[in-house]
Amino acid sequence: MSKSRTQKEELLTRYKDLIESKSGYLLVNSDKIDTSTVTKLKIELKNADANITVIKNSIFKVALQDTKQPLQVQEFDGPTALITFDDDPTAPAKLVKKVQKEMSLLSPRNGVYEGEFLTAERVMQLADIPSREVLLSRLVGTMNAPLTGFMNAITGNVRGLTMVLKGISEKKA
């Protein structure tokens, strides 16, 4: 069923807002996905501060051109879903990879993160990167390691001195 001109203009405005308001998006192939899987995926994506929308390709391509997105993104055909996210691109990429492994659905096509084009391979590489929280905890642990070593060295000398003094006091007693 074709859409009226006003419906198309509303869709175009909505797509432009999605592209401009989010830090990035992924385009995935949605031809084999069923309603129950989409519903589960929407819930999981919402927990990861992301959202999925099945798009109308012709109108979305116009929105891409109007918002000056990379030209490579505009090369897609067939049923497509748009996954938008605010901060962390790894969480939606991990969910896409999980659904692809479990049910052979949602193969990534490409994406954009902070204006940079991502191929399907790069999207799958994002899924292998640890989450932001894990990376931050590793950074704090790495920054804490020299201090911990220094404290162990200082307390080790004091501990050694107390052990020597204790040994001397036991010999005299």
**How does residue 1 score in pLDDT terms, banded at 50, 70 and 90?**
low
Q: Which residue has the tokens 């949602």?
A: 106
**How does residue 105 score in pLDDT terms, banded at 50, 70 and 90?**
confident
Q: What is the mean pLDDT of residues 76-104?
A: 85
How far apart are alpha carbons 90 and 103 in whole angstroms? 20
CB 111, CB 26: distance < 8 Å: yes
pLDDT at 14: 92
Q: What is the mean pLDDT of residues 108-135?
A: 86
Mean pLDDT value across the chain? 85
How far apart are alpha carbons 2 and 73 in whole angstroms? 25
Residue 149 has pLDDT above 80, yes or no: no
Among candidate residues 58, 55, 68, 47, the one with its CA nearest the CA of residue 26 = 55
